[in-house]
Amino acid sequence: MVARTTVPQEVVNYRGSPALPGVEVIDVQHSPREWRLIPDNYGVVFFTSWRGQARTRGQVHVGEEGLAFCTMPGETVIGTPLAGPGSFKVMELHPQLLEQWLAEQQPSSVRPDWAAVMRPMSSALRRRFASFFAALDPGASALQMQSTLLELSELMLSELICGAREVAPLTGPPIRSAARMRECLHEEGLNMDLETLAKRVGLSRFQALRVFRQRYGLPPHSYQLCLRISHARGLLREGLPAADVATRCGFADQSHFTRHFKRINAITPVQYARTKAPSIAPDSATLAFDRSPGALLTRSDR
- Among 99, 109, 118, which residue's Cα sits nearest to residue 57? 118
pLDDT at 43: 96
| Co-location of 207 and 85 in the same domain | no
Instruction: Look up the CATH number of the domain holding residue 137.
Output: 2.60.120.280
pLDDT at 295: 42
pLDDT at 278: 55
3-state secondary structure at position 154: helix
Query: Tell me: the pLDDT tens digits for 60-77?
Result: 999 999 999 999 999 999
Please compute the mean of the pLDDT values over residues 89-118 and round it to a whole number. 93
| Co-location of 66 and 101 in the same domain | yes
Is 5 among the domain residues?
no
| Co-location of 252 and 205 in the same domain | no
pLDDT at 214: 83
Is 165 among the domain residues?
no
| Co-location of 86 and 186 in the same domain | no
| Co-location of 20 and 138 in the same domain | yes
Q: Is 181's pLDDT higher than 80?
A: yes
Is 300 among the domain residues?
no
pLDDT at 277: 61
pLDDT at 201: 87
pLDDT band at 169; cut points 50, 70, 90? low
Let me know the angle formed at the C-alpha of 107 by 102 and 113, rounded to the nearest 5 degrees: 50
Please compute the mean of the pLDDT values over residues 68-92 and round it to a whole number. 95
Is 189 among the domain residues?
yes
H helix or E strand, kind and range, residue 285: none
Q: What is the identity of the amino acid at 90? A: V
Q: Is 276's pLDDT higher than 70?
A: no
115 to each of 10, 131, 193, how far by Cα in Å?
A: 32, 23, 32
| Co-location of 201 and 244 in the same domain | no
| Co-location of 30 and 122 in the same domain | yes
3-state secondary structure at position 59: strand
Is 2 among the domain residues?
no
| Cα 182–chain centre separation | 20
Q: Is 183's pLDDT higher than 70?
A: yes
pLDDT band at 40; cut points 50, 70, 90? very high
Please compute the mean of the pLDDT values over residues 253-261 and round it to a whole number. 86
Let me know the angle formed at the C-alpha of 165 by 222 and 59, rounded to the nearest 5 degrees: 105
How many C-beta atoms surround the C-beta of residue 103 within 10 A?
13
| Co-location of 233 and 199 in the same domain | no
| Co-location of 45 and 136 in the same domain | yes
| Co-location of 99 and 210 in the same domain | no
- Whole-structure pTM value: 0.74
What range does the domain containing 183 cover? Answer: 175-217
Rounded Cα–Cα distance for residues 298 and 302 (Å): 8
| Co-location of 153 and 181 in the same domain | no
| Co-location of 23 and 147 in the same domain | yes
How many structural domains are present in the chain? 3
pLDDT band at 170; cut points 50, 70, 90? low
Let me know the angle formed at the C-alpha of 163 by 159 and 164, rounded to the nearest 5 degrees: 50
